[in-house]
Each structure stands twice: as structure tokens, then as C-alpha cells.
């Protein structure tokens, strides 16, 4: 069965946190992985403005967990946590996204985060005491929430996978491509992207 992957966008997300994994998964599909990837928002809208001003069109709305279009893998980008009131910080304080994310996890989806997107997973109650990783600017906040933050670029606890800051989203996506679709596909995508993979992945299942 085709693996549906959704990248969840909101105003103020970091561009590379979302676009890096999106391009990896798109290239994986072209390389033979049985997957589709879409850019989605929590509520219906046509466009989203990212943290550096990029205006992004979206493919649709995040389906409810019990719908056929619900993702098997949900990517939550970061952006804006340490910068004041936008991005992750706004979504964390508003509290609307975390329950949606938790509901997909409860329904069996794998939930992943890039950068400070981990703070939304923490707010959703998905990280427990860890391990999990985030951008260096939020490590203190994640630890203050009782989460163990190891020295790793990607942390895999089976149904929750977190990555560090910004470019680590590419490593996260390549790791998941290898985990779900095999090393040959992941190596092919890395070659296409001319990207040298980082191997510091902590697996704690």
C-alpha cells in the first residue's frame, strides 16, 4: 500500500525544515519508493508564508486520522521558537496543532519533527522523557520539560522520530527513506541531491 506522507505547514515555519524533507521524499518516489508526499495545512487555505518570507502554495488540508487520506507519516517542521511570537512559539501557545498531531499518532501514524518542531511534539505529549532532539536554541526548553536530549542528529524511537536544526531534516528524511524503503533508494536520493549523509542517528526503540 502506498505510504502517504504529509508535511504540515503553518505561518512562520522554516523553509528548509519543510522543503528539504519534501524534496527527499519526492525523489524517493521517483526512485521507486511506494510513497506520495504533500504539503498540507491544519485548516483549508491556499498559501502559507514561511519564516523568511517564502510564499508557499499547499496541496490540501490535513485529513482527520480516520479518513482514507490520513497520512502514515507526518512531518512537523520548526521555525520561530526563539524569535518571539511567530511560528512554533505561536502554535505552541495557541495549542490547536498539538492535539491534531497527537490524534494522528494515536491512530498509528509515525510522527516526525525537524528543528523546533519537536516543541510541538512535546506539547502534544509524544516525547515523554525522551530521547528526542531539537535545534540548539530549544534544547534547554526541551530539557526543562523533562525530555532527555542526546548528542545526535536524528533520534528514532519507532513511531516518533526527531531531528536537530534545519538541514538535519534532510538527514531525517533520508534515514526514513532507508528505514521504510531500503538503503538502495536512500543512496540513490542522496546521490541525486549530491548530499553527504550524516550518520549520527540514535535508535532507541
Does position 86 have pLDDT exceeding 90, yes or no?
no
Instruction: Measure the CA–CA gap between 36 and 5, rounded to whole angstroms.
Output: 6
Residues in the chain: 205
Query: What is the tens place of the pLDDT at every residue in 48-65?
Result: 999 999 999 999 999 999
Instruction: Measure the CA–CA gap between 96 and 99, rounded to whole angstroms.
Output: 6
Burial status of residue 200 (CB atoms within 10 A of its CB: 0-12, 13-18, 19 or more) = middle
Rounded to the nearest 10 degrees, the angle between the axes of helix 168-181 and helix 183-193 is 150
Q: Work out the number of other CB atoms within 10 angstroms of the CB of residue 199.
A: 9
Give the domain extent around 24: 3-203
Query: What is the tens place of the pLDDT at every residue in 148-201?
Result: 999 999 999 999 999 998 899 999 999 999 999 999 999 999 999 999 998 789
> What's the domain count of the chain?
1
Does position 80 have pLDDT exceeding 90, yes or no?
no
Q: Is the overall model pTM greater than 0.95, yes or no?
A: yes
Residue 85 sits in a domain of what CATH number? 3.40.50.880
Amino acid at each position: 500500500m502506498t505510504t502517504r506522507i504529509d508535511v504540515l505547514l503553518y505561518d512562520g515555519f522554516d523553509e528548509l525544515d519543510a522543503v528539504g524533507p519534501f524534496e527527499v521524499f519526492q525523489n524517493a518516489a521517483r526512485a521507486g519508493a511506494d510513497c506520495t508526499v504533500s504539503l498540507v495545512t491544519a485548516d483549508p487555505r491556499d498559501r502559507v508564508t514561511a519564516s523568511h518570507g517564502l510564499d508557499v502554495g499547499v496541496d490540501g488540508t490535513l485529513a482527520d486520522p480516520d479518513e482514507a487520506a490520513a497520512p502514515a507519516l507526518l512531518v512537523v517542521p520548526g521555525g520561530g521558537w526563539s524569535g518571539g511570537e511567530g511560528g512554533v512559539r505561536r502554535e505552541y501557545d495557541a495549542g490547536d496543532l498539538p492535539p491534531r498531531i497527537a490524534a494522528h499518532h494515536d491512530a498509528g501514524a509515525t510522527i516526525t519533527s525537524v528543528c523546533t518542531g519537536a516543541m510541538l511534539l512535546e506539547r502534544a505529549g509524544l516525547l515523554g522523557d525522551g530521547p528526542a532532539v531539537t535545534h540548539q536554541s530549544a534544547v534547554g526548553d526541551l530539557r526543562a520539560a523533562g525530555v532527555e536530549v542526546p548528542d545526535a542528529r536524528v533520534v528514532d524511537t519507532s513511531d516518533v522520530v526527531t531531528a536537530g536544526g534545519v538541514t538535519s531534516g534532510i538527514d531525517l528524511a533520508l534515514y526514513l527513506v532507508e528505514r521504510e524503503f531500503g538503503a538502495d533508494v536512500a543512496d540513490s536520493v542522496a546521490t541525486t541531491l549530491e548530499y553527504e549523509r550524516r550518520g549520527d542517528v540514535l535508535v532507541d526503540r
